[in-house]
Amino acid sequence: MMPVAGAGSPLAPATQGDEMAIITVPGTTGERRRAQPPPVRGPRTARGRKVRDSLTGYAFLAGAVVCFAVFAWYPMIRGVIMSFQRTRRGVTTWVGWDNYERIVHDPSFWTAWKNTAYFTVLALIFGYAVPFFVAILLNEFRHAKGYLRALVYLPVMLPPASALFLFKFYAYDPSDAGLFNAILKALHLPTSQWMQSPRMTMPAMVLASTWMNMGGAVLIYLAALQNIPGDLYEAAELDGAGVWGRIRHVTVPQTKLILSLMAMLQIVATMQLFIEPLILANGAGSQDSATSVAYLIYQHGFFQNDLNGAAALGVIMLIVLGGFSAVYVRLNSKL
Amino acid sequence: MSAPQYRKVAAFALAAGLGLSLAACSTKNDNKGAADGRVTITVDCQPVGAQAELLRDWNADVVAFQKLHPNITIKSVSVGAQCDNPPDFTARLQGGTVTDLFYGYMTDLQQVIDSGQAMEITRYVNKDTISTWDSIDAGAKAAFSDNGAVWGIPTKNYSMGLVYNKNLFQQAGLDVKNPPKTWAEVRAAAKKISALGNGIAGYSDYSAANTGGWHFTAELYAHGGQMVSTDGKKADFNNDMGKQVLQNLKDMRYGDNSMGSKQLLQWPDLLTNAAAGKVGMFVGAPDTTTAIVTQFQGKYQDWAMGPMPGQDGPAKATLGGGEGYFFKKGLTPDQVKAGLMWLAYEKLTPGKGQFDYVRAKPENQPVGLPQPQLFTVGSEAQKQDLELRKANANINVDDFALFENNPVPIKFEPPQAQAIYAVLDGAMSAVLTDPKADIGAQLKKAEDKVNQVLTSNG
């Protein structure tokens, strides 16, 4: 709770207390002030110290505020403004909802949303569940713990583009020479065209994306798992719970909050699907099967001389993601 | 601290921080036409360090030019390999960080005008600033003009034909001197070449990142078709010609299996495969061989070129394009003139700059390619250029003679080109990745989508 509210409300405590604003929790200051003896030094020096302390606080704050203002808030506001304008022949005019209308009528608009939703759902099923079970598994190991954890985290350290090129050229090669096809063939299973098959495009992207990103989630789950008191498991075992029983009745309830938070983060992150289609599918993929909303924004902004349409789609996406983020903030406040 | 004080401090901190970061963001503007008559201009797309010889030549040209014009200073800016990457160009253009003279494609004209970052230069362009101006190809000039107003200077142009690998032709028992002239012949040759095995594609084509639609357009032009109706309002490819384009590809891909298993290719993918000796034929311009050699480690000796194939005989038209330089808005007249003189020296004078064949001959650069063909055939400049080119050729000119001596009418790109190409990627990827693809349905779908694009942008 504290970091969220504390950073956002430095004003209130600063006006009444003598603590540094950014580390003050509302409520505590007043109490502590009451408990303190009256100031020994004169009012001028106390005031000087207050100013000095506050200034230090604001100086620290300034960096973050400037970074957010320049790289997040300003571009966001600018994006919203641009979505209601159109620049033609160097002249920018207000065009109302024209850009929104145009972008909704883009031939790939609904395909992009469908693809993105499909990816998000698949990623939720695999990319979300797999790390949890990997974490449970890792938590059970008694030996080589550090080694195994490093192994799971390793892909996260690869730059995403390099990891995806590995998949593209090595694993998803549609000929029999491809890694996955070679394995399938050795097992006498039918091979796949991978990224060249519209049906396989999304599952293949989810597979690569999960492999790339799950390390971080696994570590978070591991931390949560280690916070579960061991006696709960003992009690469950005494009550006759098997492995599944223990996971269901102890592990899941104890990590519920982390699980739901991670689900929200996962949705917001996967809906911004971009680099996977860009690299694995060279953009739209076979018959538009890889086009994502973010890729469509990129197409309009950078290829089709339509930054305003791109901005409109960006705003639509912002609103959708904002909905999910609101759920996240609500969950976060329960932490 | 009281509330007003807090506000003051916060405002100060914010202002200081913003000021600092904005100062860091803004690009330094060089002295514009200083009083002492000295003029400085910045120019982008200086060759990258990896192209050592091209870079050395460019720098030598800058020195020589400045000696000729002591009052002009050229500041070269390398933007890495970004000159070939449209998204990077768009980012620089829209961000307002282009140089005084900036490089762009013919198809960037609309985007450049719309961005408001460029200036119209009609009144500066004449024989005084560019001595060869009257000899420059009218089509290339028109591609950088808008309703008679000149916005850019063409520095390269190309048109497409059939590029083929002589080595593979020989190995497959095909006649190197007699490349396919129709799509039926392309198909037959592709079958023989792919029979060599080893993952070699007899014929290769694009289907991703808008390049699929780009080549669909080129091949449709070859059949005599057009992408958009003459009034620019309706898609015009859902017909027998469009079907034939896709059918040819599907027959090769799935009928003969002569196009290799890896599809969804975009520009560098195909050329990488070609440089590795894995592609027998593809549709491209003469400068693709330059890219194969300078960027993808291929060899000139391997490549030759014939005219664009047509359905039953020579192609009815071929897709053309090219590149040039635009001028940033707000330049002084002296800066514009200096820029034009630099372009004239580096890009538009026979025997100089990009046409300095004597210098290029011993370097790993092709001399003798039929394009760029910037000067009108029959003009003094063209004759001079041709003579110098022949005298210094370091590639086998005969390898490109069929292309050069059988010119096909050049047709430029349709309006809303990139949006239309993005749509046609779908149809191209369908016939190249799905053996069951229904060509009629794919074209209908693409037609509806292109009509949608034309309506909503109209």
pLDDT digits (tens, 9 = 90+) for B375-385: 998 899 999 99
Decide if A66 and B14 are in contact by the 8 Å CB cutoff.
yes
pLDDT digits (tens, 9 = 90+) for B121-139: 999 999 999 999 999 999 8
DSSP β-bridge partners for residue A251? none
pLDDT score for A7 = 36
Quote the crossing angle between the two packed helices A145-157 and A198-226, to the nearest 10°.
140
A65, A105, A195 member nearest B452 (Cβ): A105
DSSP β-bridge partners for residue B325? B103, B153
Residue positions counted in chain B:
458
Residues 190-219 of B with CB under 8 A from A: 199, 207-210
Q: Which two tokens stand for residue B104?
A: 């762009």
Mean pLDDT of B183-195: 97
The DSSP call for residue B328 is: B
Decide if B13 and A61 are in contact by the 8 Å CB cutoff.
yes
A14 to chain B nearest CA, in Å? Answer: 7
What's the sign of the alpha-carbon dihedral A278, A279, A283, A288? negative
- Name the residue type at position A263: A
pLDDT score for A39 = 53
A69, A89, A177 member nearest B114 (Cβ): A89
Comparing alpha-carbon positions, the chain B residue that sits nearest to A295 is B209
B266, B416, B418 member nearest A282 (Cβ): B266
pLDDT greater at residue B135 or residue A177: B135
A294 to chain B nearest CA, in Å? Answer: 14
Decide if A54 and B18 are in contact by the 8 Å CB cutoff.
no
Report if pTM > 0.95: no
Q: Which two tokens stand for residue A36?
A: 């303190």
Task: In whole angstroms, give the CA distance from residue A233 to residue A247.
Answer: 9
Mean pLDDT of A314-325: 92
Q: Which residues of B touch A74 (CB under 8 A)?
A: none
Decide if A107 and B456 are in contact by the 8 Å CB cutoff.
no
pLDDT score for B334 = 95
Neighbour-count burial of A130, counting CB atoms closer than 10 A to its CB (0-12 exposed, 13-18 middle, 19+ buried) = middle
* Neighbouring C-beta atoms of residue A151, cutoff 10 Å: 12
A15, A69, A303 member nearest B3 (Cβ): A15
Lowest mean pLDDT among A182-191, A289-298, B2-11, B412-421: B2-11
Nearest 5°: the CA angle B347, B352, B354 is 45
Mean pLDDT of A316-321: 94
Q: Which residues of B76-96 are buried (b: 16+ CB within 10 A; e: fewer)?
A: beebeebbeebeebbebbbee
* Neighbouring C-beta atoms of residue A101, cutoff 10 Å: 13
- Could you check whether the bond before residue A43 is cis, i.e. omega within 30 degrees of 0? no
Decide if B17 and A62 are in contact by the 8 Å CB cutoff.
yes
Q: Which residues of A touch B264 (CB under 8 A)?
A: 195-196, 281-282, 285-286
Lowest mean pLDDT among A36-40, B253-257, B322-326: A36-40
Determine which of B215, B433, B449 to mutate to test the interface with A (most A C-beta atoms within 10 Å).
B433
DSSP β-bridge partners for residue B150? B145
Mean pLDDT of B307-314: 94
Q: Which residues of A touch B454 (CB under 8 A)?
A: none
A70, A107, A175 member nearest B261 (Cβ): A175
Task: In whole angstroms, give the CA distance from residue A226 to residue B396.
Answer: 72
Asked if the model's pLDDT at residue A148 lies above 70, the reply is yes
Lowest mean pLDDT among A67-71, B259-263, B297-301: B297-301
CA atoms within 13 A on the CB side of A143: 0
CB B205 within 8 A of CB B163: no
**Could you tell me what percentage of chain B is helix, strand and coil, using 3-state DSSP and rounding each to the nearest 5?**
50, 15, 35
Write a three-state SS string for B165-199.
EHHHHHHCCCCCCCCCCEHHHHHHHHHHHHCCCCC
Q: Which two tokens stand for residue B244?
A: 């034939």
pLDDT digits (tens, 9 = 90+) for B28-74: 444 444 557 899 999 999 988 888 888 999 999 999 999 999 999 99
pLDDT score for A335 = 58
Comparing alpha-carbon positions, the chain A residue that sits nearest to B267 is A282
Q: Which residues of A touch B449 (CB under 8 A)?
A: 107-108
CB B133 within 8 A of CB B126: yes
Q: Is B45 left (phi over 0), alpha (psi -120 to 50) or beta?
A: left
Determine which of B210, B420, B429 to mutate to test the interface with A (most A C-beta atoms within 10 Å).
B429
ipTM of the complex: 0.84
Q: What is the DSSP string of B11-47?
A: HHHHHHHHHHHHHHHSPPPPP-S-TTS-EEEEE--PP
Q: Kindly indicate the confidence band of residue B252, based on its pLDDT and cuts at 50, 70 and 90.
A: very high
Q: Kindly indicate the confidence band of residue B19, based on its pLDDT and cuts at 50, 70 and 90.
A: very low
Comparing alpha-carbon positions, the chain B residue that sits nearest to A107 is B449
Mean pLDDT of B246-260: 96
Q: Kindly indicate the confidence band of residue A37, based on its pLDDT and cuts at 50, 70 and 90.
A: low
Mean pLDDT of A228-238: 88
CB A309 within 8 A of CB A101: no
Q: Kindly indicate the confidence band of residue B153, based on its pLDDT and cuts at 50, 70 and 90.
A: very high
The DSSP call for residue A87 is: E
Beta strands of chain A (E only): which ranges? 85-88, 91-94
Decide if B208 and A69 are in contact by the 8 Å CB cutoff.
no
B264, B329, B430 member nearest A281 (Cβ): B264
Decide if A283 and B433 are in contact by the 8 Å CB cutoff.
no
Asked if the model's pLDDT at residue B118 lies above 90, the reply is yes
Q: Is B261 on the interface with A (CB under 8 A)?
A: yes
pLDDT greater at residue B6 or residue B413: B413
Residues 93-112 of B with CB under 8 A from A: 94, 110-111
Task: In whole angstroms, give the CA distance from residue A75 to residue A60.
Answer: 23
Helices vs strands, H then E, count in chain A: 19, 2
Q: Mean pLDDT across chain A, nearest whole number?
A: 83
Cα B54 versus chain centre, distance: 18
How many beta-carbon pairs below 8 A join chains A and B?
Answer: 152
Q: Collect all residues with Cβ–Cβ distance below 8 Å to B383 and sequence separation of at least 6.
A: none
Q: Is B149 on the interface with A (CB under 8 A)?
A: no
pLDDT score for B82 = 66
B285 to chain A nearest CA, in Å? Answer: 22
Comparing alpha-carbon positions, the chain A residue that sits nearest to B415 is A304
Percentage above 70 pLDDT, chain A: 86
Q: H or E segment at B319?
A: strand B318-327
Q: Which residues of A touch B456 (CB under 8 A)?
A: 101-102, 105-106
A51, A66, A307 member nearest B18 (Cβ): A66
- Rg of chain B over all Cα atoms, to the nearest angstrom: 24
Q: Which residues of B touch A307 (CB under 8 A)?
A: 94
Mean pLDDT of A13-41: 44
pLDDT digits (tens, 9 = 90+) for B266-284: 999 999 999 999 999 999 9
Asked if the model's pLDDT at residue A10 lies above 50, the reply is no
Lowest mean pLDDT among A180-184, B31-35, B261-265: B31-35
Decide if A303 and B90 are in contact by the 8 Å CB cutoff.
yes
Decide if A70 and B21 are in contact by the 8 Å CB cutoff.
yes
Asked if the model's pLDDT at residue B285 lies above 60, the reply is yes
pLDDT score for B167 = 95
- Picking from A197, A173, A177, A174, the residue whose alpha carbon sits closest to that of residue A186 is A177
Asked if the model's pLDDT at residue A8 lies above 50, the reply is no
Decide if B208 and A90 are in contact by the 8 Å CB cutoff.
no
pLDDT score for A33 = 46
pLDDT score for A75 = 92
Comparing alpha-carbon positions, the chain A residue that sits nearest to B443 is A287
CB A54 within 8 A of CB A10: no
* Neighbouring C-beta atoms of residue B387, cutoff 10 Å: 13
pLDDT score for A263 = 86
Comparing alpha-carbon positions, the chain B residue that sits nearest to A195 is B264
B172 to chain A nearest CA, in Å? Answer: 23
pLDDT score for B35 = 56
Comparing alpha-carbon positions, the chain B residue that sits nearest to A69 is B18
Q: Mean pLDDT across chain B, nearest whole number?
A: 89
pLDDT score for A38 = 53
Mean pLDDT of B80-101: 86
CB B189 within 8 A of CB B180: yes
What's the sign of the alpha-carbon dihedral B193, B197, B200, B201? positive
Q: Kindly indicate the confidence band of residue A176, based on its pLDDT and cuts at 50, 70 and 90.
A: confident
Q: Which residues of A touch B5 (CB under 8 A)?
A: 51
Q: Which two tokens stand for residue A242?
A: 């098997």
Mean pLDDT of B315-333: 94
Q: Is B10 on the interface with A (CB under 8 A)?
A: yes
Task: In whole angstroms, give the CA distance from residue B151 to residue B104.
Answer: 11
